[in-house]
């Protein structure tokens, strides 16, 4: 199976359990690994035979910037489900990184990664 990768997509969202997170918002980073058959596009060199990267980006952006979730787990799951429903993908791996969760301590970030297959949502 062929792969399309998106690395370090950056969005500003209002996700979190605490009121300040929902009010002030913060940066979120999204990485994707998308499995699909890209053989037709490889042979034709035609955008109509592949998955439009701009449409993928826009779909993720609409969820991260346009909806609110308390949990990064829910945000990640919603991205995976939407991509599987909207595009001809066999499998999606979604990683959402929250660089500044309200945890007292020293760390770079917290991230959730989920892998979902098309058959999970039939």
| Residues classed as catalytic | 98
Distance CA 122, CA 116 (A): 12
- Using CA atoms, how far residue 102 sits from 18, 55, 107, 113, in Å, is 9, 32, 11, 19
């Amino acid at each position: 199976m062929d792969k399309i990768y998106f690395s370090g997509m950056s969005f500003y969202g209002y996700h979190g359990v605490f009121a300040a997170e929902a009010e002030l918002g913060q940066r979120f980073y999204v990485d994707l690994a998308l499995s699909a058959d890209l053989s037709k596009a490889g042979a034709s060199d035609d955008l109509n035979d592949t998955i439009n990267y701009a449409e993928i980006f826009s779909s993720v952006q609409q969820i991260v910037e346009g909806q609110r979730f308390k949990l990064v787990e829910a945000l990640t799951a919603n991205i995976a489900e939407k991509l599987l429903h909207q595009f001809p993908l066999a499998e999606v791996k979604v990683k959402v990184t929250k660089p500044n969760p309200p945890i007292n301590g020293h760390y770079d970030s917290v991230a959730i990664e989920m892998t979902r297959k098309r058959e999970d949502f039939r």
